[in-house]
Structure 1
Amino acid sequence: MDKADRVGFAAFFVACLFLAFLGGTMVVLAKVFPYEFVNDAYKAGHALIVQDSIDDPYTQTDQWRIARTERRGVTIHDPARAYEGYTLYTSGGGPVASLVDMDGNEVHRWTLPYSELWSTNPAGRGAQDDGLMYWRKAIMYPNGDLLAIYITAGDTPWGYGMVRLDADSNVIWKYHGATHHDFDITPDGRVIVLTHAFSDKKFEDFPALANPFLNDYVVVLDGETGEEQSKIPLFESFYESRFQPLLTNIAHFAVEDPLHTNSVQFVDDELAQSFQPAQGRGNQVLVSFRHPGTPALIDLDSGQLTWAMSGSWLGQHSARALPNGNFTLFDNYGHFLPKNLTRALEVDPVTEEIVWRYEGDKAHPFESRLRGALITLPNGNRLITESDGGRLFEVTRDGSIVWEFFNPKRAGDENQHIPVVSSGQRLGPDELTPEFRDSFQTP
């Protein structure tokens, strides 16, 4: 091949590369064949890279935060006004649930590594390391049985499964679904849990939706066996309802995970009589859709979304209907103040008024950008899970803190990292069986 031929061949090769570049650009911009196959392959490859790239869970995951204080354990306790009992909490430090008394002493603990249950994630791929997993939420039964859900860092879907344990952390049943964020137990013992999975379904009136996107589901399990009884796709419920226009609240960055459902509460016949949006119909669930900024009701019988509303909250979690007809929310971003970004709210769903709120102050800052929960105790106080602060605290209706607990666990070369506290539950001594109470470790 002479010099002219070599120059001609090089020019031809460069021209082919340029045409290939133009063709690839056209495919990506116009999203025509084979865009979806290439895009799926890219996402899968990127997910694998992310899954294998976490070297330091303290700085590369959202399971740990820089500790805001040196304080550990119980720092405030007002026995005259606090709801006395035992507090269950889970945190980003691992699949562990601890039960502490009002002085912060651990009286019982449950733990079970994911690898002792499964070797893959619910989709069948290799599971993340145990060190990147923790129990997002746990609920304790009066006899010491425990329900807990696993989630992980560095994988999508990040929901990894649910387990029911006895008081000695022995497995009663397990459910290998992509459980995430929250679950509830019905009066008849059923378990209502959130799961998620990728879907490539298209919706004509929402063309911006990613393909595939992460869809959320409400799943009903048999509480004695863990067997799945029903499953409702939530994006379809929202899209097919009269509240579809609220989907326009979804930001451009959230089209791959459009709803990000992060709480679920069962509404029985009694609660449905007082919570006006339920219109007297029980067997519904109140959910929180983070990205549309919307608490909503889903009918478990029909799968329909029957009510929804938006408000001044932002990035909210933990929607809970109350017997007085209102509902509470953990409003992650709605206060807009540095170190006091977060609010706890009680809202009247009829007038749409905020009828009660708790906001932090200089002495007790309140900020959790991710996660958080708020439950109303039998005496009317609120137990608040400030996840990013690694803190649980109880406030009265007048906003006084009557109990405060900081996660005592620390990590890092200077003990600067604290695991997020991801859930909290308070039960009075009389709510627990005598046999379980007798097993407690005492100081």
Structure 2
Amino acid sequence: MRTLTSLAAAILGLSLLVPSAGAYEAVNGPLGLLSYERGKTYDGYTLFTPHTKVGSWIVDTAENPGSKMTYLIDMEGNIVHTWKHDTPAFYAELLSNGNLLRAEKIAGSPVNFGGWYGLLREYTWDGRVVWEYKVSNPRQIAHHGFDRLPNGNTAILIWENKTYDEALAKGRDPNDPALSRNGMRAPGQGPDNQPLQGIWPDAILEVTPKGEIAWEWHVWDHIGTGPDQIDINWHLPLSMGYFARADWTHWNSVRYNPKTDQYAVNSRDFGEIYIIDRKTKKIVWRFGNPATHGKGKAPSGYHDDGDQILFGSHDVEWLPNGNISIFNNGTHRPSGNRSSVMEINPATNQVVWEFQTKDRNSFYSDFQSAAQKLPNGNWLVTSTNNGHLFEVTPDKRIVWEYVNPISVDGKAYCVKRDNNPENEIHRAYRYGKDFPAFAGKNLKPQGKLAAGCPDWSELLQFKPAPGYNPIKK
């Protein structure tokens, strides 16, 4: 446990903050609860799982142990429940029956791109495993998103390997340097990336409680250049480094809508959201980057975004009004990297609400991240890069703010300095106090994650008189 040794050290982080109307984001600064405006938030409990080391495919080693805990905290940052696991995780969700559904990173992944996990497990409130499903073999790996359906089935995203020859047979350009026959690295891949052969398109598996596949959808079955197809020769430029690898379509979230019997999925690398009709298996709507299917202008040159709207986006969600939300990371946007939260009306293709602060990088996250619209109209935003969670109102005021104090080493810290600790969170979720999972549960506060640290939410409200000096001479 690392704590501050003086009030002067505590005050050190104050200069790093922006006004409460904006979202705090800094490489260095206080960790834990930063602000809480009672009466303006959606009161409840926030669930999060600290991330494993970003970009690493090493699991459970001394160098990269990863946190093996899942935490539920109250609005004041107190722990009210924890789950302890055998393996590190990608993220977890709480089910209405009180169980926890958790994506777990297991050894033996055939790929190294970010987002793989391999094993999905369901835990009871007291930590017993009651269901699991594994997809991890030389040609398949579960990754990123999952969704528990009302009928008890579970939708899971997977990558599936297609060889160099299979890709050529589907029409992939043999001169494309991002396509590899022998597993050598394509241009733009970093030195930490293991060689991969062929390409790895996405698929959805809908699995029953007994582990049977009830429904499936494969990008590979929908190759083409039409508005309801995926162009096998479209990918981001190699100049964008790790984006143009065998990880070709890179879907990162999947959500089922029981009202319409449709799936919404999000492709980071195509910069698009798709709606897939479950009965017809057709892509019935796509949004974000019309250039992928010949319907708009691609970005070109400095400051020219073309007709592309989504850049590196994550976490597509259905909203009760039929709209869709997304965290638009803004990664590699020609006009400048900046993140935003968007609500989109699929009927009109209009962005009907968007949050981005005046400072383009105030909560910028070049990877992962999420946005959850809460029942009172507020939004809970996860900015992964700095493990930063905040709640913002429809009129764009920050009313709750929390920065994860748990590092990949499993220890708690008071202050982040020089990018230490590594405190990323993939996604967090807020559940109201009336959420069915909490019925009859003991949610008594058990103290802070980083015990002994200053109460930042109190210190950051302190407004000293002119000339005040906290250091006594």
Q: CA–CA distance in 1 between the matches of 2:44 and 2:250?
A: 33
Match of 1:147 in 2: 101
Given that 1:390 and 1:419 are in contact with CA atoms closer than 8 Å, whether structure 2 keeps it comes out as: yes
Mark the CA change 1:312 to 1:246 in structure 2 (over 3 Å): closer, same or farther: farther
Given that 1:95 and 1:150 are in contact with CA atoms closer than 8 Å, whether structure 2 keeps it comes out as: no
| 1:73, distance to aligned residue in structure 2 (A) | 1.6
Match of 2:272 in 1: 294
Q: CA–CA distance in 2 between the matches of 1:95 and 1:236?
A: 37
Q: CA–CA distance in 2 between the matches of 1:252 and 1:363?
A: 24
The 3-state SS of whatever aligns with 2:222 is helix
Given that 1:147 and 1:165 are in contact with CA atoms closer than 8 Å, whether structure 2 keeps it comes out as: yes
Question: Which of 435, 442, 454 is matched with 1:438 structurally?
Answer: 442
Give yes or no for the alignment of 1:108 onto 2:77.
no
Question: Which of 405, 419, 423 is matched with 2:427 structurally?
Answer: 423
Q: CA–CA distance in 2 between the matches of 1:94 and 1:389?
A: 16
Match of 1:135 in 2: 89
Q: CA–CA distance in 1 between the matches of 2:85 and 2:422?
A: 21
Give yes or no for the alignment of 1:242 onto 2:203.
no
Identity %: 27
Question: Which of 362, 380, 387 is matched with 1:365 structurally?
Answer: 362
Unaligned runs of 5+ in 1: 1-65, 115-133, 273-281
Give yes or no for the alignment of 1:71 onto 2:71.
no
Q: CA–CA distance in 1 between the matches of 2:334 and 2:254?
A: 28
Opposite residue 71 of structure 1, the aligned amino acid is: P
| 1:144, distance to aligned residue in structure 2 (A) | 2.8
Match of 2:131 in 1: 173
Greater RCO, CA 8 A, separation 6+: 2
Mark the CA change 1:236 to 1:419 in structure 2 (over 3 Å): closer, same or farther: farther
| 1:305, distance to aligned residue in structure 2 (A) | 2.3
More displaced 10-residue stretch of structure 1: 374-383 or 320-329: 320-329
| 1:392, distance to aligned residue in structure 2 (A) | 1.0
Give yes or no for the alignment of 1:89 onto 2:48.
yes
Greater helix share, structure number: 1
Match of 1:277 in 2: none
| 1:138, distance to aligned residue in structure 2 (A) | 0.8
The 3-state SS of whatever aligns with 1:333 is coil
Q: CA–CA distance in 2 between the matches of 1:113 and 1:251?
A: 37
Give yes or no for the alignment of 1:196 onto 2:159.
yes
Given that 2:222 and 2:229 are in contact with CA atoms closer than 8 Å, whether structure 1 keeps it comes out as: no
Mark the CA change 1:425 to 1:238 in structure 2 (over 3 Å): closer, same or farther: farther
Give yes or no for the alignment of 1:259 onto 2:249.
yes
User: How many residue pairs are counted as aligned between the two chains?
Assistant: 346
Mark the CA change 1:143 to 1:322 in structure 2 (over 3 Å): closer, same or farther: closer
Unaligned runs of 5+ in 2: 1-24, 52-65, 136-140, 182-197, 239-243, 290-307, 448-473
Q: CA–CA distance in 2 between the matches of 1:179 and 1:423?
A: 17
Match of 2:460 in 1: none
Given that 1:340 and 1:366 are in contact with CA atoms closer than 8 Å, whether structure 2 keeps it comes out as: no
Given that 2:170 and 2:223 are in contact with CA atoms closer than 8 Å, whether structure 1 keeps it comes out as: no
Q: CA–CA distance in 2 between the matches of 1:250 and 1:169?
A: 42
Q: CA–CA distance in 2 between the matches of 1:144 and 1:112?
A: 17
Match of 1:21 in 2: none
Mark the CA change 1:140 to 1:411 in structure 2 (over 3 Å): closer, same or farther: closer
Match of 2:201 in 1: 215
Match of 1:232 in 2: 217
Match of 1:15 in 2: none
Question: Which of 54, 62, 71 is matched with 1:98 structurally?
Answer: 71
Mark the CA change 1:153 to 1:393 in structure 2 (over 3 Å): closer, same or farther: farther
TM-score by length of 2: 0.66
Render the CA deviation track for 1:364-398: whole Å, top value 9, x for unaligned: 81111010111111111111110002111111111
Mark the CA change 1:322 to 1:141 in structure 2 (over 3 Å): closer, same or farther: closer
Render the CA deviation track for 1:381-422: whole Å, top value 9, x for unaligned: 111110002111111111111111100124789862222111
Render the CA deviation track for 1:194-220: whole Å, top value 9, x for unaligned: 111212232544324735211211111
Opposite residue 275 of structure 2, the aligned amino acid is: L
Mark the CA change 1:394 to 1:248 in structure 2 (over 3 Å): closer, same or farther: farther
Given that 1:166 and 1:172 are in contact with CA atoms closer than 8 Å, whether structure 2 keeps it comes out as: yes
Given that 2:45 and 2:74 are in contact with CA atoms closer than 8 Å, whether structure 1 keeps it comes out as: yes
Question: Which of 301, 316, 323 is matched with 2:320 structurally?
Answer: 323
Cα RMSD between the aligned structures?
3.0
Render the CA deviation track for 1:48-100: whole Å, top value 9, x for unaligned: xxxxxxxxxxxxxxxxxx97233122111112111000010112142321100
Q: CA–CA distance in 2 between the matches of 1:230 and 1:363?
A: 41
